[in-house]
A and B are shown apart, each in its own frame.
Chain A
């Protein structure tokens, strides 16, 4: 999975491409940890070009959200396709993570 990072004001925007699954989540976790280690407090992950997210991917999202919220920052998510959205709904992640319809909406008030 490709992860492209850009800064928009105080928010680190991570645009993903591919799948967030068993094989890619380890690398994704490393990337996110590195960003947090480097001081990123507010992270917005854009899944627009992601095909599917499996429970392994959800796991790293949860871990990152926990770490960010404990340090006063936060994790926001956007660009879910129907299936990823369904996975978020089924797993309850749509209520415990902050999901937005677009990058613009997600950036407002972050």
Chain B
């Protein structure tokens, strides 16, 4: 038996389809149009019976080629016995059945074929393609199913692609925010001879929340930190920005890293719904005495490379990661630095860098490098250590941000000490003369032109007089603090007192156009101060009034 295919009978359209297919096949094998139509009609009648009893019926078509007989075989297969099939038996040459074949009911119609021998492969293929040819409805149904499937997979693809693109672009934005916050220009303090700092941050393609910061709180205190925010993308970058801002604003009035981080932690953990956190190493270096006060909040322990070549690991921990729990009090430690010492800070991107064999860089390797390398300059130390990580990593992909910062201390510079004059005066008018004499000596030593020296004399006379005469409501002794510093050609003077809160610069300028007789006596001093200085500023710091004055020193 050579099967030619199967025709499903599912709907009334299938009957016509079956009729046409059988007619075509019959015509091909019978070479007799009338006989073919007869067979086709018989087929369509039986197909109608099949459809009536259920919709899961089919017609199998085949050729039975024997030595003495050749047949077109048409099997009608349904689930129940076909009533009325016998009436149609005359339309076939022979009818077999009905049989019960594995639960199905089969009636076989046979049509005797003329000629002899096997039909060639080509004609069998043609016949098969006729039988198996999809009907229009079948095709439409199939196409509809395929379309839905295609649409689904297209939607999936789009969803995945846009989610991926969104993530990519979010990571990019996050990275841009991250990088834009970093001080990137080095040397960062070219006019300082007492310390130097260098830092590099290499962002990983995907993960990473490293940051660092470095700034002078005042002429004497250098603040630096390295941190690593959990998470990635825009949320991590914003968390980082907030952290940096909180540290910097707190440090302006607070020289204790423990206190700064305790406050930053409280701020960050309050309503921290995203549950992000950050590891931070924060240090403030007193440049005059070479003392570094530091707090390590869950960060990798930094190293101090001494001038004599020895290596110290700063392994004390002063509290947990920042941002995780409210109300923690962080601790701090102190480490004296000598001229030639270098502090080496890094993030876990260094020690957890992986090579192609998935081995970690490790802190041991870093320690070895720092021990063997002279660390002669901040810039070179950063470069050498980062290069060693690249060498180790080889062709492996960078998995996390890599950050290295180095701070070197050269000892208090002559300039720093002599560029600064600190004076204290009690609330007696005679003290003004003493302050002016001290300043005049400072001015002579630093070649400050007379014109500027006289203006500062005038300023002290006016402002100290005001404070002594009007700031205190008692007869007690009070201390006024005066700091004069010459930085980058700018003479910055601050005067602070613990008198009642008073902003001298809020008063209006007097009318200087009045004649001798109209002129009220007094009211001029502050106007003069404002006029002869380049900038004047008043602030209330705690219980003290602080006036800051700046004057550009023309050389």
Contact = CB atoms under 8 A, between A and B. Distances in A.
15 contacts: A19-B461, A21-B433, A51-B454, A51-B457, A52-B457, A52-B458, A56-B465, A56-B525, A59-B521, A62-B516, A83-B450, A83-B455, A86-B532, A91-B512, A92-B513
Interface string A57-68: 011001101100
A58 B524 contact: yes
The dominant DSSP class at the A interface is helix
B40 to A, nearest CB: 120
B180 interface: no
Given A63-B521, A69-B516, A23 B528 contact: no
B462 interface: yes
A87 interface: yes
B101 interface: no
A104 interface: no
A10 interface: no
Contacts of B528: 54-55, 87, 90-91
A62 B465 contact: no
Contact of A90 (B461, B464, B512, B513): B512
A56 B464 CA distance: 12
Q: Contact residue range for chain B?
A: 20 to 34
Interface of B: 429-430, 432-433, 436, 450-451, 454-455, 457-458, 461-462, 464-465, 512-517, 519, 521-522, 524-525, 527-528, 531-532
Contacts of A92: 512-514
B455 A56 contact: no
Interface of A: 19, 21-23, 51-56, 58-59, 62-63, 65-66, 69, 81-84, 86-87, 90-92, 95-97
A13 B458 CA distance: 25
A97 B458 CA distance: 20
Nearest to A92: B512
A54 B525 contact: yes
A37 B458 CA distance: 30
Nearest to A54: B461
B282 to A, nearest CB: 45
Nearest to A52: B454
Given A23-B432, A59-B521, A90 B531 contact: yes
B516 A22 contact: no
For the residues of B in contact with A, the DSSP-based class is helix
A64 to B, nearest CB: 10
B534 to A, nearest CB: 14
Given A21-B432, A96-B515, A55 B532 contact: no
Contacts of A55: 462, 522, 524-525, 528
A26 to B, nearest CB: 9
Contacts of B461: 19, 21-22, 52, 54, 56
A90 B532 contact: yes
A23 B430 CA distance: 7
Contacts of B521: 59, 62-63
Given A53-B458, A63-B521, A81-B454, 11 more contacts: A55-B528, A62-B516, A83-B454, A84-B454, A86-B531, A86-B532, A87-B458, A90-B532, A92-B512, A96-B516, A96-B519
Contacts of B462: 54-55
Contacts of A87: 458, 528, 532
Contacts of B532: 83, 86-87, 90
A83 B430 contact: no
Nearest to B464: A22
Contacts of B522: 55, 59
A66 B462 CA distance: 23
A58 B430 CA distance: 19
A22 B434 CA distance: 13
Contacts of A65: 516
Nearest to A84: B454
Interface centre among B454, B464, B465, B514 (most CB of A within 10 A): B454
A89 B387 CA distance: 64
B433 to A, nearest CB: 5
Given A23-B433, A51-B454, A52-B458, A91 B516 contact: no
A81 B457 CA distance: 14
A62 B516 CA distance: 7
A65 B518 CA distance: 12
